[in-house]
Amino acid sequence: QVQLQESGPGLVKPSETLSLTCTVSGVSVSSGTYYWSWIRQPPGKRLEWIGYVYYSGHTNYNPSLKSRVTISVDTSKNQFSLKLSSVTAADTAVYYCARIVTSNWSFYWGQGTLVTVSS
Amino acid sequence: QSALTQPASVSGSPGQSITISCTGTSNDVGGYKYVSWYQQHPGKAPKLMIYDVSDRPSGVSNRFFGSKSGNTASLTISGLQAEDEADYYCSSYIRSLTLDVIFGGGTKLTVL
């Protein structure tokens, strides 16, 4: 059974960098079958795709966040990570990691983690 | 385009059928079969219910039916049950220089 689990600080100060890790079990992040993705959902609002990384290191990011986002993959640890710099209160959200099936762009989600940006 | 268009809310009584629409353009919903639907209960992660417009993952009830006509995809839930009350989101692959996938704004389903 494939599982994804987010981890990282639940509270980040404004202007600092938000860092989250997604640990994958049940499948290798080196599998060419999936993109490894981050999505967020501000409280009471809709889903927003942040970006993804492929096992090769290829990435694609939402243009609205591109200047602040880095997503990377660590095949040795079977993990992938999100870094979002210069955060503000508008970045407060539940952050989900997910695997995207490359053949049909469907998402399978982790449980999500709430990150609050506040001093 | 920032999001696919979904109605903010729909409602139905137990046993009835409801349909949720998801409208895009020829660059996304209308141009590809890569439309998915997700169910999200409060405080929970989204769950994949439909992929490739109308296919169901293993374990998803056949009361959930997906379809597409032109630039609009639809999710129909038949035999409504109380447990179906949730938010529903659509997503689609998008032909774009920058984006690969786009989500709908979400629809709140209320079972009366």
pLDDT tens by residue, B70-89: 999 999 999 999 999 999 99
Do residues A29 and A52 touch, judged by C-beta distance below 8 A?
A: no
Per-residue pLDDT band for B1 (boundaries 50, 70, 90) equals low
Average pLDDT score over residue span B20-41? 95
Alpha carbon B9 to its chain centroid, in Å, reads 12
Using the predicted structure, report yes or no on whether residue B98 has a pLDDT greater than 90.
no
Give the gap in angstroms from C-alpha A36 to the nearest C-alpha of chain B. 13
DSSP reduced 3-state for A18:
strand
A93: amino acid identity, one letter: A
Q: Determine what percent of chain A is predicted with pLDDT higher than 70.
A: 100
Query: For A116, phi and psi rounded to 5 degrees?
Result: -110, 130
B84: amino acid identity, one letter: D
Whether A48 and chain B come into contact, CB under 8 Å, resolves to yes
Average pLDDT score over residue span B19-24? 97
CB contact under 8 A, B102 and A49: yes
Q: What is the model's pLDDT at position A31?
A: 87
Q: What is the model's pLDDT at position B32?
A: 93
Per residue in A60-115, pLDDT tens?
999 899 999 999 999 999 999 999 999 999 999 999 999 999 998 999 999 999 99
* Per-residue exposure over A70-91, b if at least 16 CB sit within 10 Å of its own CB, e if not: bbebeeeebbbbbebeebeeeb
Taking CB atoms and an 8 Å cutoff, what residues of chain A touch B100? 52, 60, 105
Per-residue pLDDT band for B95 (boundaries 50, 70, 90) equals confident
Kindly identify which residue of chain B lies nearest to residue A40, measuring between CA atoms. B45
Kindly identify which residue of chain A lies nearest to residue B50, measuring between CA atoms. A106
Give the gap in angstroms from C-alpha B21 to the nearest C-alpha of chain A. 16
